[in-house]
Structure 1
């Protein structure tokens, strides 16, 4: 859907997405509630492919509907992640949790 730009008499500018057949000439400003008129702007066309759109949609969805974590990342079926062992002597100087 196309993105349309609006501006209220107070100077607040914001964008809204509407289907081309249903775009209004004016909407209420989210900041002050005044009637904001649609302003002329350059078309916002995208050259992104379908994979990019899927990524954008999934990122937007996770911002509002995060997944529930049931175990620690890398945890095995028994629930323990196991301690990683390093042989680097410099790592021995690091603080332990």
Structure 2
């Protein structure tokens, strides 16, 4: 279930994080949901993606874009687990 270009390392990390197992405490989950790319990073990712679409991406830029995609995928997994953990916590406490 990995996006195209994800490495074996990311598959291993996905199994370790296991977003289907909502085991974060509410405080941890909320902290994880605060993890975001900076505005500068988002701008750089957009620039790199545009260069990739136009076919003008250098090898170094390609490596950097893949690093952003890898990290973004891991943050997405962590966010997914955090949201599920918060839902489970709310359900257990009668809030959902």
Q: TM-score range by the shorter chain?
A: under 0.3
- Identify the structure with the greater strand proportion: 1
- Identify the structure with the greater helix proportion: 2
Specify the structure having the higher radius of gyration (Cα): 1
Which structure carries more relative contact order (alpha carbon 8 Å, separation 6+)?
2
TM-score by length of structure 2 reads: 0.20
